[in-house]
């Protein structure tokens, strides 16, 4: 029987088969984003960036690798095991950043941004790394949009950040429920922690806790409230609530925050056991939970979260400075997204700028800002500024065509001042009819542009 000679094709197939058995797999807890999902991811990122800019946040980029010391004072000690250590020079302790907030605050202090006018609004978008427990929807590398308001303690700042996330998910067609709570001051939590410790140490309760919570019992008692294990969640329902231990100051601040949310028509759920996963928060904390088809909230994987941290900057070497932050998870948001066509962003033409003077005017302006954005108008603002002159200068720099001005008189009269930025002509418009007036103005502008184009065309002929 003649010997069959192997062809080069047969040899290549065999080599391919040998190589295929040695493919190095993707690391556990990591995610590949491919094809149409990658396109959707990019559109989602662009929408997040445009939203941050629309609310007058300035961009900042910080290194992925930071000093371990940056996090050790502001992170619960039991979370250190989730850090990814990086080999450094000699005695250096380096980590892949587990979140963005501390890096932004380090840059804020190191680059002396605190020497300018406060408040400062900063946003950053990039990867974070955590060696978390593996489960569906939780990744060890993920992308976050992070927004920080530094140098202002006013319940309206909470309302602004919550409204940003609320609008973001609403415009994407993602149903969410805002969970909100106040964890008070350090003094409030000290008394509450002793009561909570006594509760969990009562006979029969400790044995029902998961192993992680049993270890935390003497280290970080508040961490037990953040556990997602079913047995711990069920046991938590019987635990004392921190609301009963708030100081008058913390209770008043939280009440005002909720009033602002009510005025903005943002539906929320008061969650007395919400504490967030980190130990630097005080007073207001919040999370955005996705809703299932039946309308129930899914609390194991929040799409966004944040809160106030008035002592964190001081712990990092700066002067005591109030601050608040919000983080939105991009991959988690992507997993809930159904319609990528909703990611289309408005153009940068025909800008409408909203200026305000006074707290009530600022709140009303925020409401109007949200309504006009939803109606498809390209709206800008500067809610951080209390100077009308500065706001008008910013409107001019943006080349806005129209400026809507709200002050104390307009609030009382139920009107708004509409200024044409080209001619400086002003007119008083009934507040409830401002959308109709803007639509009418757009049609007049469009008609003028068409006439101008025709005149230019006839002139060339």
What is the per-residue pLDDT for 163?
95
Domains of the chain: 35-184+246-341 (3.30.930.10), 346-460 (3.40.50.800)
d(CA 185, CA 190): 9
Nearest to 55 by CA among 144, 100, 121: 121
Cα dist from 173 to 96, 169, 294, whole Å: 33, 6, 16
What is the per-residue pLDDT for 66?
95
- pLDDT tens digits, one per residue of 288-307: 999 988 888 887 789 999 99
d(CA 429, CA 48): 32
∠ CA 393-397-402, nearest 5°, is 80
**Contact between residue 245 and residue 195 where contact means Cβ atoms under 8 Å apart:** yes
What is the per-residue pLDDT for 412?
94
What is the per-residue pLDDT for 439?
87
What string of H, E and C letters represents the secondary structure of the chain? Answer: CCCCCCCHHHHHHHHHHHHHCCCCCCCCCCCCCCHHHHHHHHHHHHHHHHHHHHCCCEECCCCCEEECHHHHCCCCHHHHHHCEEECCCCCCCEEECCCCHHHHHHHHHHCCHHHCCCCEEEEEEEEEECCCCCECCECCEEEEEEEEEECCCCHHHHHHHHHHHHHHHHHCCCCEEEEEEECCCHHHHHHHHHHHHHHHHCCCCHHHCCHHHHHHCCCCHHHHHHCCCHHHHHHHCCCCCHHHHCCHHHHHHHHHHHHHHHHCCCCEEECCCCCCCCCCCEEEEEEEEEECCCCCECCCCCCEEEEECCCHHHHCCCCCCCEEEEEEEHHHHHHHCCCHHHHCCCCCCCCEEEEECCHHHHHHHHHHHHHHHHCCCCEEECCCCCCHHHHHHHHHHCCCCEEEEECHHHHHHCEEEEEECCCCCEEEEEHHHHHHHHHHHHHHHHHHHHHHHHHHHHHHC
- pLDDT tens digits, one per residue of 353-383: 999 999 899 999 999 999 998 888 889 988 8
What is the per-residue pLDDT for 426?
92
Length of the chain: 461
What is the per-residue pLDDT for 291?
92
The pairing of strands 141-150 and 120-129 is antiparallel
Q: Which long-range contacts (CB under 8 A, 24 or more apart) does 367-374 make?
A: 367/263, 367/264, 367/265, 368/404, 368/406, 368/416, 368/431, 368/434, 370/163, 370/167, 370/264, 371/435, 372/435, 372/438, 373/54, 373/167, 373/346, 374/167, 374/171
What is the per-residue pLDDT for 221?
84
d(CA 266, CA 390): 30
Give the residues of the chain that fall short of pLDDT 70. 1-21, 74-79, 136, 277, 339-349, 444-461
What is the per-residue pLDDT for 102?
95
What is the per-residue pLDDT for 446?
60
Nearest to 126 by CA among 57, 36, 63, 69: 63
> Would you give the distance in Å from CA 378 to the centre of its chain?
21
**Phi, psi at residue 292, to the nearest 5°?**
-80, 175
């Amino acid at each position: 029987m003649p010997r069959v000679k192997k062809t080069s094709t047969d040899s290549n197939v065999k080599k391919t088969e040998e190589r295929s058995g040695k493919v190095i797999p993707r690391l556990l807890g990591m995610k590949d984003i491919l094809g149409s999902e990658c396109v959707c991811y990019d559109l989602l990122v662009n929408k997040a960036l445009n939203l941050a800019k629309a609310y007058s946040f300035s961009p900042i980029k910080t290194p992925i690798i930071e000093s371990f010391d940056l996090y050790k004072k502001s992170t619960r000690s039991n979370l250190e095991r989730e850090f990814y250590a990086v080999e450094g020079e000699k005695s250096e302790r380096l980590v892949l950043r587990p979140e963005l907030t501390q890096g932004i605050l380090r840059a804020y202090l190191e680059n002396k941004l605190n020497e300018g006018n406060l408040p400062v609004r900063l946003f950053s978008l990039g990867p974070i790394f955590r060696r978390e427990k593996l489960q569906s929807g939780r990744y060890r590398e993920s992308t976050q949009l992070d927004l920080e308001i530094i140098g202002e303690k006013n319940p309206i700042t909470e309302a602004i950040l919550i409204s940003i996330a609320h609008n973001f998910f609403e415009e994407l067609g993602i149903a969410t429920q805002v969970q909100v709570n106040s964890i008070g001051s350090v003094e409030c939590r000290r008394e509450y922690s002793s009561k909570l410790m006594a509760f969990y140490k009562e006979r029969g309760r400790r044995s029902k806790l998961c192993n992680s919570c049993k270890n935390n019992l003497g280290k970080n008692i508040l961490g037990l409230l953040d556990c997602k294990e079913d047995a711990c969640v069920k046991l938590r329902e019987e635990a004392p609530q921190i609301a009963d231990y708030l100081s008058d100051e913390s209770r008043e601040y939280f009440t005002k925050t909720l009033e602002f949310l009510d005025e903005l028509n943002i539906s929320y759920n008061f969650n007395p056991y919400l504490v967030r996963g980190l130990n630097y928060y005080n007073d207001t904390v919040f999370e955005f939970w996705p809703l299932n088809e039946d309308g129930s909230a899914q609390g194991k994987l929040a799409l966004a979260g944040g809160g106030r941290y008035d002592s964190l900057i001081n712990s990092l070497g700066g002067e005591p400075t109030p601050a608040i932050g919000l983080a939105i998870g991009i991959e988690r948001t992507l997993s809930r997204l159904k319609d990528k066509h909703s990611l289309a962003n408005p153009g940068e033409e025909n800008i409408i700028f909203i200026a305000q003077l006074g707290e009530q005017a600022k709140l009303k302006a925020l409401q109007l800002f949200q309504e006009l954005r939803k109606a498809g108008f390209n709206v800008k603002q500067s809610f951080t500024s209390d100077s009308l002159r500065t706001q008008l200068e910013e409107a001019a720099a943006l080349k806005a065509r129209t400026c809507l001005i709200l002050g104390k008189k307009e609030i009382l009269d139920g009107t708004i001042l509409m200024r044409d930025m080209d001619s400086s002509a002003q007119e008083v418009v009934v507040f409830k009819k401002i959308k109709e007036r803007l639509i009418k103005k757009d049609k007049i502008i469009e008609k003028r542009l068409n006439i101008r184009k025709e005149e230019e065309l006839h002139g060339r002929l």
